Structure 1
Amino acid sequence: MPGPHGVPRADIIPLLHEGLSDRAIGRTLHTNPKRVGQIRRELGLPQYEAPPAAPIEEKWASRTTTVSGGHMRWTGTHRSGMPHLVWQQRSVSARRIAFQIGHGREPVGRVLPGCGHSWCVAPEHTTDQPMRHADALFPQIFRNAA
């Protein structure tokens, strides 16, 4: 028999036992998630707990393709022409994640590929501002050596 919102309780119960959230059941059956939650409590079922998010490195890796020369191409989305991904409801620069993977620290300033290929997101090819500054100073420091 349909409940006050038209969806039979018998349709909601199997989805609760499958482990779906109140919101997901509400969207699926076009009913109020509060009603789903009420039925969950009546049945003595525990509150829904979202599975832990995959580590950001895994999500990043799932959106890259290795190409020749040790380069990596970003296959995910772009924002303002820059590779990015959404993780835990935040927009994150794919190049910054690549830098953290390759160098084990937070980047300082803008992250750019140091290999000469503007599309490359290979962790080992990323550079931050201090690295580029040091690379620019190197020839000046050692120009008379040799």
Structure 2
Amino acid sequence: MPNQALATTTGQPGTWLLRSRHNYLVSGATPERGGTGEPWLAGELLVAALASCATSIVADAAAGRGLALHYLSVSASSERDPDEPGRYAAITLAFDLEGPSRQEAEALVAEFQATCPIYGTLSRGAPVRVDIRTTE
């Protein structure tokens, strides 16, 4: 089943209602584009989707390998390209794992990189840096 989402106006300028399956989320435009900047912005949703995919795959891969994963955090951020406003210059992922060794953490992140369609799509369109931090 393909992923689908619908964005609709709300009657409040610069604020959108997003729907996917039976889930709803409020998003909005930046103040420069007529929004308040209070709801989730599109770029934030993009990096949140990437972080969510990373967290899901790494946690599942750790469980599948019988690794103790006491804590997992994935931070995702993007930087706009100053020369091309319609693209990101870079996307950065920072993985914080507690439990796995450095080698195990790198293998878990490699599995994410090989199987996440969001990462696969973004990494081919914009450079993606991956930082891994471990606590054993």
TM-score with structure 1 length normalisation? 0.25
Name which one, 1 or 2, has greater alpha-carbon Rg: 1
TM-score with structure 2 length normalisation? 0.26
Greater strand fraction, Structure 1 or Structure 2: 2
Instruction: Choose between structure 1 and 2 for higher RCO, CA contacts under 8 A separated by at least 6 residues.
Output: 2
